[in-house]
Chains A and B, each alone.
Chain A
Amino acid sequence: MAYQFILPDIGEGVVEGEVVRWHVKPGDVVKEDQTLVEIMTDKATVQIPSPKAGKVSKLFFKEGEVAKVGKAIIEIDTGGEASAPAPAPAAEKAPSRAPDSTPPPQRVEVSRTEPRASFEATSTQAVAQGSNALVASTGEREILATPAVRKLARDEGVELQKVAGTGPFGRITREDVLRQAQGGQVISFTPPPQAKAQTTQTEAPVRENVQARTQEPRREDRQDHRQESRGNSRDFGREPVREEPRDPPPPRREEPRRDEPRRDEMRPAAQQQSQPAQAQQQSSQLPPPRPGQETRVQIRGLRKRISEKMHQSKSTAAHFTYVDEFDLTDLVKLREQVNGKLAAQKIKLNFLPFIMKACVVALRKFPAINALVDDARGEYVMKSDINIGIAVQTDDGLMVPVVRNVDQKSMVQLQREIETLSEKVRRRQATQQELTGGSFTITSLGALGGMLATPVINYPEVAILGVHAIKKKPAVVGEQVVIRDLGNFAASFDHRLIDGYIGAQFIAEVKRLLEDPTTLFLEL
């Protein structure tokens, strides 16, 4: 029986060796452990003893030739041994190892099937496909990705199964995940059912708004580079669009311990019927849990960013909120007049452009407020451009698109831009450019606006203005109580940088301008 001796790695990572001298020649009878050959590797010259007894039938290399580790170098006819019952072919005896005469394993060997029923079932397909397990069989693609990339994908709600890896051997890189996360192309928010297999990439642009602002200004440059592929988000992608996680988080203790508790109990029926886009809905949109149960949803995607940002803001900036009541009767009148004139152009100004313009004037007087804080470097960054973020509520959560150079635009332009941006954000089509670079933020609760809220600063900005509902209320004018249009304005400042006096002055300035809009026009 022919036995081929394969050159082993004789020295921790040796890949080849030069045949220095054969101690045997074809026809020689060798004993077990008898020296066959001297091999010189880059580490050492060693003598190789024979693992078998028999007759040398063939030498595969001449002296002076270089043999690769894993290649057969000599063939020995083990003769009588073959008929002996003991040495059965290795493949039968120990299926986990390669048979004697097999050339060195390529990468994964078909023959190396482990006789273990436990995962036999799960891997049958891959095995059936044969030798190249790197590209395994139907559907389930094997994934090469580092733990850091897996973590990123998990945070972004990106399914690695659906990401094409561009790294060596198809490894999925950080960039691949980010590309997938930012969606490449924009797809409608609610995909048609047919789209289920190709997970729809919806975007959650605000996220980056929320986050990008935390980064020191110079990082924006780098982000801009990545823009070219037009996807917006760099670090953050869409809200997770996953009908079922490939690897759901472990059940918490208080949950009933069953094999598949999550899918049944945690996910509304709609999601199980492969409606991926809806799987991402906010917890508030999930149906209530059955009595006695609770619903647990991973905080991830946009919600996670918002959560992190809010926490960062509240735990970093020293918030103080200053509130004043504005008498906007004149502004209300002015707006009606203006809108009457604009009716022909089919555009209607709401209060926000006026408020933004008032802020422009006030921010010019108090440039300390049109600023960012760079805590990493301990620096306070005052901005020359006045770029005002406007908080917009979307189905997935809060987003803040930015209106740039507010001071250089007309009210009509501002109104148009606000509408366009809000719509884009709601459709998740806003670009990164449109979601970053703010220096001040206005949050307006519109008609719902209540009486008082304490806005959370869009960190690393240092101030935010909250606008509440404008309502008719009794007010004292002169010595009389009259009906006026009153609205509360609440502004939060980072007290680390903005003193109460400055903040109050700023609001007083905004108030002065809005209560007497003619001055606003004088000073613009």
Chain B
Amino acid sequence: MASKARKATPKTAASVAKNAAVATERDRTPLCLVNPDGSVVKGAKLPVIPDADLKRLFEVMLQNREIDERMLTVQRQGRIGFYMQSRGEEGSILGAAYATTKADWLFLCYRELASLLWRGMTLQTFANQLFGNRQDLVKGRQMPCHYTDRAIGLVSISSPVSTQIPQAAGVGWAMKLKGEENVSLCFMGEGGTAEGDFHCGMNFAAVYKANVVFVCRNNGWAISTPAEVQSASETFAMKARAYGMPGVLVDGGDIFAMIAATREAVERARKGEGPTLIEARTYRFSAHSSSDDPSVYRDEKADQAKFAHMDPLPRLRNFLKHRELWSQEWEQSVVTKIQDQLATAIKLAETMDLPQTETVFEDVYKELPWHLREEKNEALRHKQKPVHGVVNATSSAKG
């Protein structure tokens, strides 16, 4: 030992510091099981997924994309106030969701519609939230896309970046304390890792070996901030190491790799072995939101072509073709069906009354304190303005 050490290159503070920040080849290589052309990577062992599930996953991906297209149009028509698409990320989100069950709590960033569709949130619940109508589960109080749905284990989404991370860690710890085997699945964007909450949540979860799986959707852009300037780490998965938890970099375009990585992480968490950070490397093909115009800060045409191979939809389609599980008619029927269902849901959601004014005063106090009672009475004395801010828009969208 002693002689070996002497022979090795002498360590210096500078060399140690230099090496510490460098990613190894392993760190840099995303887990990939299925190639963009749908072929299985040589030597890769695919996770076990029944054919029916494979088809269903593809369906949800298609549905997600159709819904996104439609809702952006509806937003542009001024019928809803806001929308966020997730094109290019459906696969990684869906893969992670597939590896969990409804008993596992969901803490979302905001772009994870695919996980909700997979868990069975109804289109009507979805549309009601976007229109903020009387049936909206959050009573029109949240921006569109900030869903909540207890029935599928979804904790209400909040806009402030990364607040869900410590919450997920806390819930995961509670699960552990109660001896439960379920986990909390927490999504964040790569931009969210720059928040203090990321540190708190990761540290806490690791220290207490909480039942959590963190999924960092690295889609390359935090609105207009590119991932390269978001962090000095070469990968986001690497950050896990310093917290004392496994970090896995996954090709987010490969739903199989995503399922495999998440299943492992969920298993670890269920066994009480603590959290995992999964970095799903994807590309955000769409704008950040309906308020964003990416052409201002990136070369849209070039990028769409450059990252096309990262799109999970064609990759899964190719795989299904290899397995002879896909047909053009089937895909078309799925699309037509979702379009019809969505149109019905939108129509109903749009014609439904807006939340009653008095609901604004509900859900915080069991008995209203005096000042809120005063406000409530005054609000009721006014003839209402609708609660949600899409008045002009809805008027134009009638009929």
Contacts and interface: CB of A to CB of B under 8 A. Distances in A.
Given A51-B77, A81-B399, A6 B383 contact: no
B381 A51 contact: no
B394 interface: yes
Nearest to A12: B291
B395 A99 contact: yes
Nearest to B391: A105
B77 A8 contact: yes
B290 A112 contact: no
Given A6-B393, A96-B353, A142 B378 contact: yes
Contacts of B367: 250
Contact of B354 (A96, A99, A100, A126): A96
Given A10-B75, A150-B371, A246-B374, A46 B293 contact: yes
B81 interface: yes
Interface string A76-94: 0010010000111110011
Q: Which of A4, A43, A69, A97 has the most CB of B within 10 A?
A: A97
B170 to A, nearest CB: 30
A147 B381 contact: no
B78 A6 contact: yes
B396 A6 contact: yes
B397 interface: yes
A97 B290 contact: no
A136 B381 contact: yes
A417 to B, nearest CB: 43
A116 interface: yes
A93 B351 contact: yes
A490 to B, nearest CB: 42
Contacts of A6: 78, 392-393, 395-396
B382 A133 contact: yes
A146 B87 CA distance: 43
Contact of A123 (B370, B382, B390): B382
B392 A51 contact: no
A70 interface: yes
A423 interface: no
Contacts of B287: 44
A119 to B, nearest CB: 4
Q: In the complex, which range does the number of interface residues on chain B fall in?
A: 35 or more
B399 to A, nearest CB: 3
A477 to B, nearest CB: 64
Q: Which of A12, A122, A136 has the most CB of B within 10 A?
A: A12
B290 A10 contact: yes
Contacts of B385: 108-109, 112
A12 B378 CA distance: 28
Given A51-B397, A116-B356, A122-B380, A98 B392 contact: yes
B77 A100 contact: no
Contacts of A247: 370, 373-374, 377
A44 B292 contact: yes
A126 B381 contact: yes
Contacts of A47: 76
Contacts of A143: 378
A121 to B, nearest CB: 10
A105 B381 CA distance: 19
A7 B378 CA distance: 31
A8 B392 contact: yes
Given A8-B392, A10-B75, A45 B293 contact: yes
Contacts of A33: 73
A114 interface: yes
B79 interface: yes
Given A51-B397, A94-B351, A100-B399, A122 B381 contact: yes
Nearest to A137: B381
Contacts of B323: none
B398 interface: yes
Contacts of A102: 395
A89 B356 CA distance: 22
Contact of B396 (A8, A108, A127, A249): A8
A187 B130 CA distance: 57
Q: Which of B353, B374, B386, B392 has the most CB of A within 10 A?
A: B392
A39 to B, nearest CB: 9
A100 B396 contact: yes
B380 A123 contact: yes
Interface residues of A, number: 65
Given A51-B396, A98-B391, A104-B392, A114 B374 contact: no
B256 to A, nearest CB: 35
A150 B374 contact: yes
B15 interface: no
Contacts of B76: 8, 10, 46-49
B378 A97 contact: no
B398 A100 contact: yes
Contacts of A87: 398-399
A12 B81 contact: yes
A5 B396 CA distance: 6
B399 A97 contact: no
B382 A90 contact: no
Contacts of A63: none
Contacts of B384: 96, 112, 114
Contacts of B370: 154, 247, 249-250
A97 B387 CA distance: 11
A48 B397 CA distance: 13
A36 B176 CA distance: 55
Contacts of A113: 383
Nearest to A149: B371
Interface in B120-144: none
A12 B398 contact: no
A358 B291 CA distance: 79
B291 A136 contact: no
Contacts of A3: 396, 399
Interface string B288-308: 001111011000000000000
A336 interface: no
Given A8-B392, A81-B399, A100-B399, A136 B382 contact: yes
Interface string B30-45: 0000000000000000
A170 to B, nearest CB: 13
A93 B77 contact: no
A339 interface: no
A93 B378 CA distance: 27
Contact of B399 (A9, A52, A119, A250): A52
A255 interface: no
A419 interface: no
Contacts of B390: 8
Given A104-B392, A108-B385, A49 B291 contact: no
Contacts of A104: 392
A426 to B, nearest CB: 32
Interface string A486-503: 000000000000000000
Interface of B: 73, 75-79, 81-82, 287, 290-293, 295-296, 351, 353-354, 356-357, 367, 370-371, 373-375, 377-378, 380-386, 389-399
22 contacts: A3-B399, A5-B396, A9-B393, A44-B287, A49-B77, A50-B77, A51-B396, A78-B399, A86-B399, A89-B398, A90-B395, A90-B398, A97-B354, A97-B398, A98-B392, A99-B395, A105-B391, A105-B392, A112-B383, A112-B385, A112-B386, A154-B371
Given A48-B77, A96-B384, 8 more contacts: A8-B76, A12-B81, A51-B397, A70-B392, A81-B399, A87-B398, A97-B354, A112-B385
Nearest first, the 10 closest Cβ-Cβ pairs linking A and B are A8-B78, A87-B399, A44-B293, A98-B395, A11-B291, A90-B398, A51-B77, A119-B380, A8-B393, A12-B291
Interface of A: 3-12, 14, 33, 43-52, 69-70, 78, 81, 86-90, 93-94, 96-100, 102, 104-105, 108-109, 112-114, 116, 119, 122-123, 126-127, 133, 136, 140, 142-143, 147, 150-151, 154, 246-247, 249-250
